[in-house]
Amino acid sequence: MSALEQNALLAAFVASTIGLVTVLHLLARAIGRSQDEPAKDVPFEGGTLQPKPVWVRYHFRYYALALLFLAFDMEMAFMYPWAVVYRELGLVALLDMGVFLAILFLGILYGWSERGIGRQ
């Protein structure tokens, strides 16, 4: 398959996806008319209105935990494809993954220093 055919196939997929989303959106708007209600946009939890404001500040520890979650999430996202091509690339792939894991380990150390994990 040539590069031109691949690009044409990609463009067809993108166009058909956009067309499908547009048709489904128009169909949903035509079938399900919404009714305006005064309390429709008010956030609630458990059927009661919140006495506190909706926008509250979170403790910084949660941001460190979020960074650690993203670090491990990225590790897993890149570890599976790496394991598939490891035999083909050999030592170069091993060194690349070593550098990647070292950077993630620095992220873990940062999270630990910010009291994101372990001792609270």
Question: Are 109 and 67 in the same domain?
Answer: yes
Q: Which of 68, 72, 60 is nearest to 111 (CA)?
A: 68
Question: How do the pLDDT tens digits run along the chain, 120 residues long?
Answer: 899 999 999 999 999 999 999 999 999 988 987 777 766 666 666 666 666 666 767 676 677 677 778 878 878 888 888 888 888 888 888 898 889 889 888 877 877 776 655 555
The answer to whether residue 116 is domain-embedded is yes
Question: Are 29 and 63 in the same domain?
Answer: no
Question: Are 72 and 117 in the same domain?
Answer: yes
- What lies within 8 Å, CB to CB, of 9 at 6+ separation is 1
Question: Are 23 and 76 in the same domain?
Answer: no
Could you tell me the pTM of the whole model?
Answer: 0.43
Structural domain harbouring 76:
59-120
